[in-house]
Amino acid sequence: MDTSVLIDSIRGRRTEQVSKFERLVAADEVMLGDLVLSEFLRGFDNEAESRHVHATLQGFPVVELCGETIAVEAARNFRHLRALGVTVRKTVDLIIGTYCIRNSLPLLHNDRDFDAMERHLGLKVL
């Protein structure tokens, strides 16, 4: 799952992705990437809020998204998309998408950076 869905959820936005997220939580089918966790927690104004939210999220398994293999593949994917005239704005999104592609995992997101990865790289989305 991408950070965009967590942000929408905590802000009380009733999006299609938030509804899917809630169903996945109920079915115990949510996994967080370590970079997603970091990206989400950095958005809190103070340490107390961040600790509280982190404690809540500890019920989800956290996986390491990036190592050398994913880093090299993400760079390759970036170049491939650039050659098609598409620029992924955030490196973290490129890593998340590449991890999901490599591991055949569907991604729940609400972020246009993943649209090109779905269209051109075979990213599966929920």
Neighbours of 97 (CB within 10 A): 26
What SS3 state is found at 35? helix
Alpha helices, DSSP H only, in 1-126?
A: 3-10, 16-26, 34-41, 47-57, 68-83, 91-102, 113-121
**Domains, the chain, ordered by start:** 3-63 (no CATH), 68-121 (3.40.50.1010)
| pTM of the predicted structure, to 2 decimals | 0.90
Residue 125 vs residues 13, 45, 80, 112, 114: alpha-carbon distances, Å = 20, 31, 20, 12, 9
- Packing angle of the helix pair 68-83, 113-121 (nearest 10 deg): 90
The CA distance from 16 to 94, in Å, is 23
Which residues have a Cβ under 8 Å from the Cβ of 85 and sit 6 or more positions away?
A: none
pLDDT digits over 17-72, tens only?
Answer: 999 999 999 999 999 999 999 999 999 999 999 999 999 899 899 999 999 999 99
Percent of the chain predicted with pLDDT > 70: 100
